[in-house]
Amino acid sequence: MSDHRETIALSEAQPPLFVGIDVGGTNIKIGLVDDHGRTLGYLSIPTAAETGAEDASRRMGEAARQVIAAAGVNLRDVGRAGLGTPGTMDIPNGMLLEPTNIKNWRNFPIRDRVGFYLGLPVTFSNDAKAAAYGEYWIGSGRAMHSMVLITLGTGIGGGIIIGDLMVMGQHSHGSEVGHAIIDYRDDARECSCGQRGHLEAYAGANAVVKRTQEKLAAGRTSTLTARLAAGEKLTPLSIATEAAGGDALSDEIVMETARFLGIGIVSLMHTIDPTGVVLGGAMTFGGAGSELGRRFLERVREEVRRRAFEIPAAKTTIEFAQLGGDAGYIGAAGLARAEHRRG
């Protein structure tokens, strides 16, 4: 159980309740959430992608029913379920098209299959958008009118919310902020998607490792060399650990990452102009709880102040996310709640 999860007793919760399901490459998180975003029950099951999408849909439905039963709740008190998955999708048709890291789940009608096994209508979304909605509902964005969440990890995902509107996009490709172009030149860095110059190609986890390797290959000294000599692979975590330990090269890499993020954020401020920007995901270099994380965030803010228009530069808040790995299922439940309320 995460520290961020506020778990309450059934006696405090009033229907309608909502199920949130967050599909990851390794685990699927399933929570039962009340109308205020509080968690009544939670279960994590292995994704076990190799068993196929139909089997996973069945297991999600069964696990969600278990969570509901274990909380002592009647299925009729659950209004709707929300489902967030990685990858490209066709949201209006509930289709998972090409899920990242789950190669054999392509072109699968996941929304309706999970709904079938669970016995509830399902609201479908991408995982980063669901996480964004979670932060907007009860996390760092709860006092914001409009918010952009940027999730930092192997990929850079995002969710843009303006008032009641989650920017899904006409073709289910909205809020893909990691694929905004920050360098149009032909020699710009290559992104995981095959295109060049995207924010993710500079500030995603693979880019962090690659930039480090380049500096080491150029002869820079670093305590990372000892790790490599011991057979370790470079990761953002090992770089963060060495940066926190005083390694100048590692620190430089982390601060450069912050700078690239600040650049991407400025473009979002000049198009969306949100109340605030929230940074989440696995790669926040320790986040608010570490000195390195706090310096990372301050470096992001510095780049934004340097580059953005005066008024938004002074007024736009930039904060870490608060819900950690729970944002996805909470936000999926929140999106289900929003659709339930629209009727």
The contact set with a copy of itself (CB under 8 A) reads 88, 145-146, 158, 160, 162-163, 165, 167-177, 179-185, 193, 195, 198, 202, 260, 263, 266-275, 307, 309, 311-312, 315-316
Q: Which of 57, 129, 42 is nearest to 88 (CA)?
A: 129
- CA dist 232 to 64, 226, 285, Å? 39, 9, 19
The single residue listed with the structure tokens 């870490």 is 320
Torsion of CA 329, 149, 296, 265, to 10 degrees: 170
Residue with Cβ nearer a copy of itself (57 or 125): 125
Residue with Cβ nearer a copy of itself (184 or 219): 184
Residue with Cβ nearer a copy of itself (44 or 267): 267
Three-class SS of residue 224? helix
Q: Which of 49, 41, 46, 51 is nearest to 20 (CA)?
A: 41
Cα first-last separation, the chain: 32
Q: For residue 238, give every residue at least 6 positions away whose Cβ sits within 8 Å of its Cβ, in sequence order, or none.
A: 224, 227, 232
Residue with Cβ nearer a copy of itself (16 or 312): 312
Report the run of H or E that residue 160 belongs to, with start and end: strand 156-162
Least gap, CB of 316 to a copy of itself (angstroms) = 7
Least gap, CB of 204 to a copy of itself (angstroms) = 14
Least gap, CB of 76 to a copy of itself (angstroms) = 32
Residue with Cβ nearer a copy of itself (39 or 151): 151
Q: For residue 319, give every residue at least 6 positions away whose Cβ sits within 8 Å of its Cβ, in sequence order, or none.
A: 140, 276, 277, 278, 279, 297
Q: Which residues pair with 143 in a beta bridge?
A: none
The single residue listed with the structure tokens 């789950």 is 102
Least gap, CB of 191 to a copy of itself (angstroms) = 11
Residue with Cβ nearer a copy of itself (138 or 161): 161
